[in-house]
Amino acid sequence: MKKFIAIVGSNSKKSTNRQLLQFIQKHFENEADIELVEIKGLPIYKKSPEKTVPEYAKEVAKKIEAADGVIIGTPEYDHSIPAVLTSALAWLSYGQHPFVDKPVMITGASYGSLGSSRAQAQLRQILDSPEIKARIMPSSEFLLGHSLDAFDENGNLKDQEQVVQLDGLFQDFLNFVDISAQLNSSTEANKQDAADFNWEDNK
């Protein structure tokens, strides 16, 4: 059984993105071991002369390294991902590079009708950056709109068409992880490139 890390891209106590990832965790429990990871315990990203990385960021990085893949649930604030998720990804690419060639599936829930579509597009760009170099599953958006009304009292998605869509995307992700595992010839070189990259030298 594959091991996935599901990152809650919000620090809200009542995040519908957390609800979505909890549903995914339960709904696919017979197909993958999915561990939810919170980022609300991370401080706001700030470089230091000593290049100090918070211990919790190191713990999350180790979980990602050991996992077969990562699922990220992002809200959308002002057409972008929340600052807390930007900060977390910065910590997870500062002196450590667990996302390099790691298969990633992106999901998102929002109160409006668009289901975090713009935030997901931005998140793809960030994950494709030289310091992160994740392997994002193509054509795989799962957009949960009107998320406040999307779940029943048991935390299940009400709309069966959305469940069917999610079932298909998750099966595709399982296949994507298998394919990605075979594309590892340049992974060590990619990790070194990510470690060596410096924006100040690339202006």
Helix (H) or strand (E) holding 135: strand 135-136
Kindly indicate the confidence band of residue 183, based on its pLDDT and cuts at 50, 70 and 90. Answer: confident
- pLDDT tens digits along 3-48: 999 999 999 988 999 999 999 999 999 999 999 999 998 999 998 8
Pick the CATH number of 2-201 from 3.30.450.40, 3.40.50.360, 3.30.70.3400, 3.40.1390.30: 3.40.50.360
* pLDDT tens sequence across 47-56: 888 889 999 9
Three-state SS for 4?
A: strand
Q: H-type helices in the chain, by residue range?
A: 16-27, 55-66, 83-91, 117-127, 160-182, 187-196
pLDDT tens column, 121-136: 999 999 999 999 999 9
Alpha-carbon dihedral sign for residues 6, 196, 56, 62: positive
pLDDT for position 6: 98
Residue extents of the structural domains in the chain: 2-201
**Band (139; pLDDT cuts 50, 70, 90):** confident
